[in-house]
Structure 1
Amino acid sequence: MIHAPDLPLWATILTALFLLSGAVITAIGSFGLLRLKSFYERVHAPTLGTTLGAGGVLIASMICFSALQSRPVIHEVLIALFVTLTTPVTLMLLARAALYRNRTEGDEAVPRDFD
């Protein structure tokens, strides 16, 4: 059930490029999670890495299955839409919750609210 021999050379090269670039971007975001110091710095790197990395993997999937089935396969667009919409919203909710917690604890390193 391996369909790799049926894939044309141009589709194989494009799929490999997008898949590897997506994996590398996701790995860089994961390393940013480990390497950065504060919570506010840490929350940003995986968000970008996840969004851009998933985009590369989804484009690779669309190219591969479109070439195999000889028709456009765009189911992955819905996945990309959901990832693109939910990841930044989650980042904002986590950052606001941490900011609220730090302000109520009286942390002086956090900027004060300008109401």
Structure 2
Amino acid sequence: MELLWDIVISALLVIGGIFGFVGSLGLVKLPDPMTRLHAPTKSATLGVGAILIASMLWFATKQGHITLHELMVTVFIFLTAPITAHFISKANIFRDWPAETLPEPAGEGEWAVHQADADTSEGELAVKKETEAAREED
């Protein structure tokens, strides 16, 4: 049974190393920021996750106690990597791509990144419009 755990842990380490290498290589070799973004957020995240799970299994099988630190780090990485990638891609679209060159989004409306005051509430919009109207009168 110990040999089986050694094989599983070794396989996870090798898989994690391969994913980490592919993510690092993609970060260096891909041509632009939007395609470069996929390498660390997808493959490197899977690589780190596999290595952390291998560490958790090693402590459980070899040391005889369960450590949840690795599981917590894995969950945090899997939760934060997509959110970070989303923010980076939105910033890249806002900075580098004019609204006219983007493809039409599905449904009604425009890209949220290029809409004026897309993230503000109705009350804030009303105050802003009143302030602008008062400035125009002066």
Q: Could you tell me the TM-score, scaled by structure 2's length? A: 0.67
2:78 matches 1:84:
yes
Structure 2 counterpart of 1:97, from 84, 91, 95? 91
Aligned twin of 2:46: 52
Aligned twin of 2:62: 68
Q: Per-residue CA shift, 1:42-91, capped at 9, x if unaligned?
A: 10121101211111101110111001232433331111111011111110
RMSD of aligned Cα (Å): 2.0
Over 6 Å off, 4+ runs: none
2:14 matches 1:39:
no
Q: Whose Rg is larger?
A: 2
Q: CA deviation at 1:107?
A: 8.2
Structure 1 runs not aligned, ≥5 long = 1-7
Paired residue total: 106
Q: CA deviation at 1:109?
A: 5.1
Q: CA deviation at 1:108?
A: 6.4
Percent of matched pairs sharing the same residue: 34
SS of 2:27's equivalent in the other structure is: helix
Which is bigger in relative contact order (C-alpha 8 A, separation at least 6)? 1
Aligned twin of 1:4: none
Distance 1:24 1:89 in 2: 24
Q: CA deviation at 1:14?
A: 1.5
Distance 1:73 1:11 in 2: 16
User: Which amino acid in 1 is paired with 2:71?
Assistant: V
2:16 matches 1:22:
yes
Distance 1:108 1:45 in 2: 28
Structure 2 runs not aligned, ≥5 long = 111-138
| 1:2-21 alignment, distance < 5 Å | 8-21=2-15
Q: Per-residue CA shift, 1:22-52, capped at 9, x if unaligned?
A: 0101111111112221211110121101211
Q: Could you tell me the TM-score, scaled by structure 1's length? A: 0.79
Distance 2:69 2:40 in 1: 24
